[in-house]
Amino acid sequence: MMEAFAGFFVIVVFLVLGVMVLVWFRQLPKLFAYLKEKHPDEYAAMGKPTLVMNNTPKNNISFLRFILGNRPSQLGDPNLATKCAFLKKLFYCYMALFIGLVVVVVGVGSASS
């Protein structure tokens, strides 16, 4: 019974994570374009990240620090703060679901062996 529930949970969470990734990849170019237009200094400080061409680990870390920190609200741009708050929530939800998925898969795998 528990294995059936775990299997269902894995499928549902995997699908939800897939949708979340699509939303993330849809929102990032919009945010990058907004930053480039409205806050070019902040965009340049992040290394001018893009979804594909300038997607380096350094830029990714800089970008995540930006959206997960307080800087978006400090810039006095409510639209930017809203966009970043959404991405921050999406990031934390994704990480929680992903860690939960790993725990369930490892737990069921070790329980069945």
pTM for the predicted model, two decimal places:
0.88
Residues 6, 11, 14, 20, CA torsion sign: negative
pLDDT in the model for residue 58 = 93
- Say how far apart CA 101 and CA 113 lie, in whole Å: 18
Read off the pLDDT of each residue in 29-51 and give the average, rounded to a whole number: 94
pLDDT of 109: 73
Q: Residue 50 in 3-state DSSP?
A: coil
CA–CA separation, 51 and 45 (whole Å):
16
DSSP state of 46: T
Which whole number is the average pLDDT over 85-101? 97
Asked whether the predicted pLDDT for residue 16 surpasses 90, the reply is yes
Of the pLDDT bands very low, low, confident and very high (cuts 50, 70, 90), residue 1 is low
Task: Categorize the per-residue pLDDT at 91 as very low, low, confident or very high, splitting at 50, 70 and 90.
Answer: very high
In terms of Cβ atoms closer than 10 Å to its own Cβ (0-12, 13-18, 19+), residue 17 is middle
pLDDT band at 9 (very low <50, low <70, confident <90, very high): confident
CA-to-CA separations, 50 to 3, 107, 110, in angstroms, rounded: 41, 37, 40
